[in-house]
Amino acid sequence: MIEEQYDMLLELQKIDIDIDEEEKKKRNLPLTIEGITKKIQGLKDSLKNKNENYKNLQVKLKRIIANYKEEKDSIEEDVLDLMEEVEDLDKSIGHLDEDLKRKEKEFRKRKEEMDLASLVIEKNMNSLNIKREEILNKITDNRLLKEYEHLRKEKGGKAIMEVDGSICPGCYLDLPSDAIYQLKKNRKIIICPNCSRILIWKD
């Protein structure tokens, strides 16, 4: 009979151990739930961070794209302005080039004319100098010649003048009547009392 009691006790103990085990599990359950909750919270936090990061990146990207478009527009504007300037300059260079060619052509023509004129002048000078030498040989009064040359320099052109009235054609002043008389009668050469030019009566 007593053996039966022991068997029952053994059976009871087995059940009590199982109950202990279950109670232990029950006690540990909240810890597990807390762990899981923490993990979920961690994942939520991580997700929130990543979402914020994503939003920030999107804002940054939009800003960069906006800046890029703005810069692109500005550069395109600059390029158009420069192209217009280049075009204007090209036209201007074309016009200047034409103008230069026309002027060079004109210059060549003028140069030919001037070379020709220079030749004519040279020829005239030669023949005038020959005539001058001939006349100089005929002038024997050296004092008069020197006076003539001096007066020509001083008066800037005409030293000797022909008179056909009462006025000196060099200084346009009236000549004294005796001077005119002398000129008319004797065809004498006189000196204008005003401007010192040599005067001779014109027949």
What is the token pair recorded at 176?
A: 């004294």
Phi, psi of 198 (to 5 degrees): -80, 125
Using DSSP's 3-state secondary structure scheme, residue 198 falls into strand
**Nearest distance, CB of residue 145 and Zn ion, angstroms:** 20
CB 168 within 8 A of CB 175: yes
Order of strands, sheet of 160-163, starting from the edge strand that comes earlier in the sequence: 160-163, 198-201, 190-191
The verdict on 169 binding Zn ion (CB under 5 A) reads: no
The verdict on 200 binding Zn ion (CB under 5 A) reads: no
CB 152 within 8 A of CB 190: no
Residue closest to 196 by CA, chosen among 158, 166, 164: 158
The verdict on 170 binding Zn ion (CB under 5 A) reads: yes
The verdict on 182 binding Zn ion (CB under 5 A) reads: no
The verdict on 168 binding Zn ion (CB under 5 A) reads: yes
Of how many residues is the chain composed? 203
Give the number of residues in contact with Zn ion, rule: CB under 5 A: 6
Of 56-64, 109-117, 136-144, 184-192: span binding Zn ion (CB under 5 A):
184-192
**Nearest distance, CB of residue 126 and Zn ion, angstroms:** 34
What is the token pair recorded at 142?
A: 């050296």
The verdict on 151 binding Zn ion (CB under 5 A) reads: no
How far apart are the C-alpha atoms of 164 and 105, rounded to whole Å?
52
The verdict on 195 binding Zn ion (CB under 5 A) reads: yes
Nearer to Zn ion, 114 or 191 (CB): 191
**Nearest distance, CB of residue 141 and Zn ion, angstroms:** 21
Nearer to Zn ion, 4 or 178 (CB): 178
Of 16-24, 41-49, 60-68, 194-202: span binding Zn ion (CB under 5 A):
194-202
The verdict on 163 binding Zn ion (CB under 5 A) reads: no
Of 63-71, 135-143, 144-152, 169-177: span binding Zn ion (CB under 5 A):
169-177
The verdict on 183 binding Zn ion (CB under 5 A) reads: no
The verdict on 171 binding Zn ion (CB under 5 A) reads: yes
Residue closest to 193 by CA, chosen among 185, 180, 203, 184: 180
How far apart are the C-alpha atoms of 171 and 12, rounded to whole Å?
169
How far apart are the C-alpha atoms of 166 and 179, rounded to whole Å?
9
Instruction: Give the footprint of Zn ion on this chain (CB under 5 A).
Output: 168, 170-171, 192, 194-195
